[in-house]
Amino acid sequence: MTKSILLTAVAISLSLGGAAFAHDYKAGALKIGHPWSRATPGGAKVGGGYLVIENTGPTADKLIAVSAPTIAGRTEMHEMATTNGVMTMRPLDSGVEIAPGAKVEFKPGGYHIMFMELKQPLKQDERVKGTLTFEKAGTVEVEFKVEAVGARGGADHGAHKGH
């Protein structure tokens, strides 16, 4: 069953300049806050993507796909967790639900977006175009702001070396 989807993606404050500005998007009742990524070393084949999704509406929605074809051959959603002291990561194949009133954070060490098969290194201060697809809210175009290599640092992506 295909429904036509009314989508509103509103980019706010993108034109203010300066490195530290947050940027936000809207898709129906969903608020998408500050998509960002991290600069990658030259040979890296994967990069991370992070953002916050808040559901201000009365019904649940689900992030079912992310893509960024200009930089990545494919893009997945993953969950990072520590089990018995070992960092592991698993693909979130069925997507990530955002319950009514909930705020889901994609951040280093937790849920994250993985840009795989990188076509070029991600450079600090670049903006990377991506598309988020929600079950109900439809598709939303966003830009991931590339921050410094160690942004919100930590050894959180060590487990990705095996990708």
In the bound state with Cu ion, the residue whose beta carbon lies nearer, of 55 and 115, is: 115
DSSP the chain: -----------BSGGG-STT---EEEETTEEEEEEEEE---TT---EEEEEEEEE-SSS-EEEEEEE-TTTEEEEEEEEEEEETTEEEEEE-TT-EEE-TT-EEEE-TTSEEEEEEEESS---TT-EEEEEEEETTTEEEEEEEEEE-TTTT-SSTTGGGGG-
In the bound state with Cu ion, the residue whose beta carbon lies nearer, of 89 and 151, is: 89
In the bound state with Cu ion, the residue whose beta carbon lies nearer, of 85 and 158, is: 158
139 contacts 7 by C-beta, under 8 angstroms: yes
Residue nearest to Cu ion (CB): 78
**Footprint of Cu ion (CB under 5 A):** 78, 89, 114
In the bound state with Cu ion, the residue whose beta carbon lies nearer, of 115 and 134, is: 115
Smallest separation, CB 2 to Cu ion (Å): 31
Smallest separation, CB 90 to Cu ion (Å): 9
Smallest separation, CB 140 to Cu ion (Å): 21
Smallest separation, CB 48 to Cu ion (Å): 7
